[in-house]
């Protein structure tokens, strides 16, 4: 009996040490990385559209930088930056989301806190103005990880999140492309949005939000709201947000496996990401952004382009699409 008791104590200590190891190590450093989708965007886009994208990415970085610089949490930075991108009609998240084959916008989002692996997600919501905020409320106010469809919208109403009419999300450009039956937007690329962040206290967070695929089947769910597929954060390793062919990211649990390669194979972040893209994903599957516990970051893609940007406490501030 004494040996059994001792074994239980050792197991409890082991679990406690593992949980404690996820607490961030404060070093005053912050990093925020964003993406606005990966795909086949031609560099011959009109300058007016290019400039709008660049200015939108820059504004998103400034929102996150202000929060992190003023000792805000990585979780707050992720949520508020994604809210801005959801409200921006040039991205496929929130207002301006692409439409299903039935002509409706069905929105997905997820968020995760690397400190304790808390996470929340929503899928197939049609009237919630900012799905990322609802995902966070699922994480903080319910015992669940994901709510979907009517159940998610009922919860949003109960906690007084802003609701809108379904037509709010449908912009003239999206409606025009839907009516023409165009599956790939040519004049402007609209992509899933995502953010990963490391705050000054050493805590990581990640979030992703999307309208999914143009002309998708009603009810289709991609990787964005699935923890471990499109979003993952663990203070012991990294925070990841993905964009691309959702079914591929689900099959290969891409976001989680980047973290797992770091923890179980002791790979640096860049090597872990490279292994995922060379060993598991196919060319043109998409991209991802990630930041590790030490502030190293990656913006990797195997498509023609990926809208992306990064800001760090070390003075880096840049946005890119093709370079």
Residue 217 has a pLDDT of 95
301-316 pLDDT tens trace: 999 999 999 999 999 9
Phi/psi region, residue 304 (left: phi>0; alpha: psi -120 to 50; beta: rest), is: alpha
DSSP labels, 61-111: HHHHHHHHHTT--HHHHHHHHHHHHHH-TTSSSSTT---BTTS---EEEEE
Cα 168 from Cα 97, distance rounded (Å): 10
Cα 19 from Cα 36, distance rounded (Å): 33
Instruction: Give the CATH number for residue 139.
Output: 3.60.20.30
Instruction: Extract the residue ranges of the chain whose pLDDT is less than 50.
Output: 1, 3-17, 19-21, 183-189
Residue 175 has a pLDDT of 83
Give the residue numbers annotated as catalytic, written as ranges. Answer: 192
For residue 207, give every residue at least 6 positions away whose Cβ sits within 8 Å of its Cβ, in sequence order, or none: 78, 79, 82, 109, 110, 111, 112, 132, 135, 194, 195, 196, 231, 241
Residue 208 has a pLDDT of 98
Residue 246 has a pLDDT of 96
Q: How many domains does the chain have?
A: 1
Residue 181 has a pLDDT of 62
Q: SS3 letters for 133-168?
A: HHHHHHHHHCCCCEEEHHHHHHHHHHCCCCECCHHH
Domain of 200, in residue numbers: 2-320
Enter the pTM of the model.
0.90
Report the 10 Å Cβ neighbour count for 46. Answer: 10
19-52 pLDDT tens trace: 444 778 888 999 999 999 998 888 888 999 999 9
């Amino acid at each position: 009996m004494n040996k059994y008791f001792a074994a239980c104590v050792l197991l409890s200590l082991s679990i406690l040490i593992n949980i404690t190891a996820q607490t961030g190590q404060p070093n005053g450093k912050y990093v925020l990385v964003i993406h606005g989708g990966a795909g086949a965007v031609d560099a011959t886009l009109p300058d007016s559209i290019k400039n709008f994208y660049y200015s939108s990415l820059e504004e998103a970085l400034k929102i996150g930088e202000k929060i992190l610089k003023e000792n805000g949490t990585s979780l707050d930075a992720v949520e508020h930056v994604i809210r801005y991108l959801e409200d921006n009609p040039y991205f496929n998240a929130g207002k301006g989301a692409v439409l299903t084959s039935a002509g409706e916008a069905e929105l997905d989002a997820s968020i995760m806190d690397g400190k304790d692996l808390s996470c929340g997600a929503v899928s197939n919501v049609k009237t919630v103005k900012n799905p990322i905020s609802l995902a966070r409320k699922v994480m903080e106010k319910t015992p669940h990880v994901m709510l979907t469809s009517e159940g998610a919208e009922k919860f949003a109403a109960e906690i007084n999140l802003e609701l809108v009419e379904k037509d709010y999300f449908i912009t003239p450009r999206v409606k025009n492309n839907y009516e023409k039956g165009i599956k790939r937007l040519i004049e402007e690329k609209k992509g899933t949005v995502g953010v990963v962040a490391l705050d000054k206290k050493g805590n990581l967070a990640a979030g992703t939000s999307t309208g999914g695929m143009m002309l998708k089947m009603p009810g289709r769910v991609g990787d964005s709201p699935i923890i471990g597929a499109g979003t993952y954060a663990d203070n012991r390793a990294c925070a990841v947000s993905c964009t691309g062919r959702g079914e591929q990211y689900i099959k290969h649990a891409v976001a989680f496996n980047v973290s797992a390669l770091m923890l179980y194979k002791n790979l640096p972040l860049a090597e872990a990401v490279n292994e995922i893209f060379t060993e598991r994903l196919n060319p043109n599957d998409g991209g991802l952004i990630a930041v590790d516990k030490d502030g190293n970051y990656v913006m990797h893609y195997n498509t023609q382009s990926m809208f992306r940007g990064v800001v760090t406490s070390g003075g880096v501030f840049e946005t890119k699409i093709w370079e």
